[in-house]
Amino acid sequence: MDNASLAIQFFLQIAVILVACRVVGALAAKVGQPQVVAEMITGVLLGPSLFGLLAPEAQAWLFPWDPTQQTRDTSAYLFPISQLGLAVYMFLVGLEFRADIIRGYLKSSLAVSIAGMVVPFALGAGLAWVLYHHTELFPERTSLREAALFLGASMCVTAFPMLARIIHFKRLGGTTMGTVAIGAGALGDVAAWLMLAVVLASFDGHLSRSLYNIGGAVGFVLVAFFILRPLLARILPYLLNKEGKLSDGGLLIGLALMSLGAWYTDSIHLHAVFGTFVIGAAMPRGAFTRDLVARIEPLAVALLLPLFFTYSGLNTQIGLIDSWALWGVCAAVVAAAMLGKWAACSIAARATGLSGRDSMGIGILMNARGLMELIIINIGLQRGIITEGLFATLVIMAIITTLMASPLFEWLVARHYEVSEDHGIADLSCTGDPTVEA
Amino acid sequence: MDNASLAIQFFLQIAVILVACRVVGALAAKVGQPQVVAEMITGVLLGPSLFGLLAPEAQAWLFPWDPTQQTRDTSAYLFPISQLGLAVYMFLVGLEFRADIIRGYLKSSLAVSIAGMVVPFALGAGLAWVLYHHTELFPERTSLREAALFLGASMCVTAFPMLARIIHFKRLGGTTMGTVAIGAGALGDVAAWLMLAVVLASFDGHLSRSLYNIGGAVGFVLVAFFILRPLLARILPYLLNKEGKLSDGGLLIGLALMSLGAWYTDSIHLHAVFGTFVIGAAMPRGAFTRDLVARIEPLAVALLLPLFFTYSGLNTQIGLIDSWALWGVCAAVVAAAMLGKWAACSIAARATGLSGRDSMGIGILMNARGLMELIIINIGLQRGIITEGLFATLVIMAIITTLMASPLFEWLVARHYEVSEDHGIADLSCTGDPTVEA
């Protein structure tokens, strides 16, 4: 398939994805699910698992897929744009990140974050041990240690951006519950990325390199907050125009720094999303960040981000889970992921002095894995650490844990909870018309 | 080069391109050139012609290029995003297109448009005849008729979006001169695209198919304006929220229709830009189009569009023009393109009753070929109609004709011209901080 004729499908793919996301999003909104969950599911539905099952030829024509990557298939076109969309989105999350709120609840956040990682990690590693010996879900090349590390890391991750969107969606922005969950989610995701860096370094046979990666990550955060931020604060007048609004030059500097951050963290084998998030969080607050969000967000969230979520889903072949044994594995993975995270986070929150209801809510919120899970398992599949069957299982886990967060929260917590005023954390979905989404 | 490591360069490429565009743009602004010209030149400078000459290894590392397209090179990543950026940009130009203004000057616009096409086309075709027999600038596969049609089409094109930006930049929005030039540019570009469709159909050996293409294009315009527009006008309340602003659903419908238009015109072998422009122009005016522009424009113009212009320039190897004979050809192409367009447009404008100064100005403005020229010659190179040497020559022609437009205009026209109030045509560059650019 030549360049020109794939370009044709490319625009049709975009149109189909956007419309499908909207339709699924409208249905999801009726049952209280945020748009981001709908986009993830849309990808799975447009992939081989539904569209490909109902109309295999139409699906293969619209989303051509070449596993050998010899020709330019769907991934050649959607992949770069989905990566850019994700990088821009995490930059927005960073721009809206409020370190000041988290500082007040640092002890609880730390406790929830650590407990919420250690327990699911141990469960994941244990499960990996069982699966490694009794199934063929890991390729031969993968060692037991790598399998344990990878499944552990993919169990203990929290979808920080998804958490932020759900907390906004539920109007918990300024509450204790929301703040601790946000703080723990941020800390936990940084740790999960570092763990993934260790797994990947080990998988490449350069375990010592992971020390270099971790050092590079710590150095990056320090440079961003203690050199870049004061520097930008000093030249802030040049980034704003006479009316005190973001100038074109300021927008350019923001986007260029974002790209540099993505490049750097990619080059030390952390994912680009970590870099754009840190750069966003380190931007000096005020008109600069507010206008950056206002200028970047609409197109990024309406056009680029759905392409990422859908692209991830397109990779998924739920049909690969083709036996009762595999469905059993799937159930075990989901149960371990959910119960482990929920129990550990709730107990840690309660132990650091939060109320029973707050603790329960935090445990449920921390379970939404969506985005990060998809990124990690995509990397695992791409690098050959896991098989497509395990990939499909983990996609289901990501979807179920994310899908459950909202209704569980409503059922166990929200009914008894005083809804607070919105404190403006991560409003990344409700631009212009909150009524459509809510 | 595997996926992951190219993704790394990808973000560094974006950072370098954005910063380089800004630096060149600041220099260009000092001599009265718009940002869009700077972006075109930046691409050439970052390609083999300057960066590659000074630091060949660094250039090859940062922008890897694989002419066999067996591996995923720079084009694999930048190409899809640059296509998307261009499609979105032409959608914006369509959204800001004011058919009402042009109607009042239809006679002059038509005359200028036709004259401005016929004369350069004849010159281009004549030149192709000479070059075809005396050089090796056309590959063997290309027939004389195709060579003549292609060079003719690439000579007679006007860069409609660039024209719009320059006219805005010069504050000529509501003047007779600006209006006639915009109208003629729009009509001329549609004709040039249809001509290109004929060339491509002929090149593929399906000349009869071009009739189908032309019919498809006419049908598309009719459907867009006489079915889509009234339909959208009727459901407009559903596209706006309670405050009368664009809803998320409305934004989505706009973007999905844009993508469908791009897909359709691509599939009838017109370029996607034609489709997005027509869809944009057919959107019902008012809050809907105004908010669409406000939501889409900032990120598209700051991030996506520079990637397109730079990507086009990266293809260009000015070093291929390596003999006096070739530079002679280059001079002949530039002279024929500029004088032909200028004389024909000016005379046509004067003949339909415009003042001498207006006519002079229109002739100069119509010479800015930039964007469209680059698209057409990229297609020509990609399809093997022209050689890389002729491609480089035509890039130089595009840059010189575009570069000359502003200073020539200042020198011959603007000094004596009353600057009018801005009537808001195609403000696609000055979001937020016009002072930086102007």
pLDDT in tens, B366-376: 887 766 777 78
DSSP code, position A385:
S
- The answer, yes or no, to whether residue A123 has pLDDT greater than 80, is yes
Distance CA B407, CA B170 (A): 11
Higher pLDDT, B329 or B259: B259
Give the number of C-alpha atoms closer than 13 A to the C-alpha of residue B152, restricted to the C-beta side.
22
Give residue A403's Cα distance to chain centre: 14
CB contact under 8 A, B251 and A432: yes
Question: Is residue A118 a contact partner of residue A153, using CB atoms and an 8 Å limit?
Answer: no
- The answer, yes or no, to whether residue B276 has pLDDT greater than 70, is yes
Mean pLDDT, residues A112-134 taken together: 88
Interface predicted TM-score (ipTM) over 0.90:
no
Judged on CB neighbours under 10 Å (0-12, 13-18, 19+), A57 is exposed
For the record, the structure tokens of A287 come out as 């008109």
Given CATH 1.10.760.10, say whether it is the number of domain A11-60+80-437: no
Q: Give per-residue pLDDT as tens, A236-252.
A: 888 888 888 888 888 99
- Residue whose C-alpha is closest to residue B342's, from B191, B234, B221, B184: B184
CB contact under 8 A, A248 and B303: no
Within 8 A of B241 by CB-CB distance, chain A residues are 432-433, 435-436
Q: Give per-residue pLDDT as tens, B59-75.
A: 888 887 766 555 566 76
**Per-residue pLDDT at A429:** 35
Least CB–CB distance from A262: residue in B11, B81, B299 = B11
* Interface size, chain A vs chain B, as Cβ–Cβ contacts under 8 Å: 191
Q: Give per-residue pLDDT as tens, B123-178.
A: 989 999 988 887 777 888 888 888 888 888 888 877 776 777 677 667 776 677 88
Distance CA B61, CA A255 (A): 22
The structural domains of chain B, with segments of one domain joined by +, span 3-60+72-418
Distance CA B51, CA B53 (A): 5
Q: Give per-residue pLDDT as tens, B178-195.
A: 878 877 887 777 777 777
- The answer, yes or no, to whether residue B228 has pLDDT greater than 90, is yes
Quote the minimal CA–CA distance from A181 to chain B in Å. Answer: 28
Quote the minimal CA–CA distance from B262 to chain A in Å. Answer: 6
Q: If DSSP codes are grouped into helix, strand and coil, which group holds residue A30?
A: helix
Q: Where are the alpha helices (DSSP H) in A244-387?
A: 248-267, 272-282, 287-299, 305-314, 324-351, 356-365, 370-382
**Per-residue pLDDT at A258:** 95
Q: What is the pTM of this model?
A: 0.81
Give residue B260's Cα distance to chain centre: 20
- The answer, yes or no, to whether residue B422 has pLDDT greater than 50, is no
Distance CA A202, CA A185 (A): 25
- The answer, yes or no, to whether residue B109 has pLDDT greater than 50, is yes
- The answer, yes or no, to whether residue A416 has pLDDT greater than 80, is no
- Considering the domain delimited by B3-60+72-418, tell me its CATH architecture: Up-down Bundle (1.20)
- Mean pLDDT for chain A? 80
Residue type, B216: G
Please list, in sequence order, all residues whose beta carbon lies within 8 angstroms of the beta carbon of residue B190, skipping any fewer than 6 positions away: B217, B274
State the pLDDT confidence band at A193, using cuts at 50, 70 and 90.
Answer: confident
Q: Give per-residue pLDDT as tens, A72-91.
A: 667 677 888 888 988 898 89
Higher pLDDT, A24 or A401: A24
**Backbone conformation region of residue A353, classed left if phi is above 0, alpha if psi is from -120 to 50, else beta:** left
CA quadruple B337, B343, B347, B348: dihedral, nearest 10: 0
Please list, in sequence order, all residues whose beta carbon lies within 8 angstroms of the beta carbon of residue A419, skipping any fewer than 6 positions away: A171
CA angle B105, B401, B76 (to 5 degrees): 105
What are the residues facing B246 on neighbouring strands?
B240
Q: Give per-residue pLDDT as tens, A92-110.
A: 878 877 777 677 788 888 8
Least CB–CB distance from A295: residue in B76, B299, B435 = B299
Mean pLDDT, residues A266-275 taken together: 80
**Per-residue pLDDT at B419:** 46
Question: Is residue B162 a contact partner of residue B373, using CB atoms and an 8 Å limit?
Answer: no
Range name among A228-237, B4-13, B348-357 with the lowest pLDDT average: B4-13
State the pLDDT confidence band at B104, using cuts at 50, 70 and 90.
Answer: confident
CB contact under 8 A, A242 and B435: yes
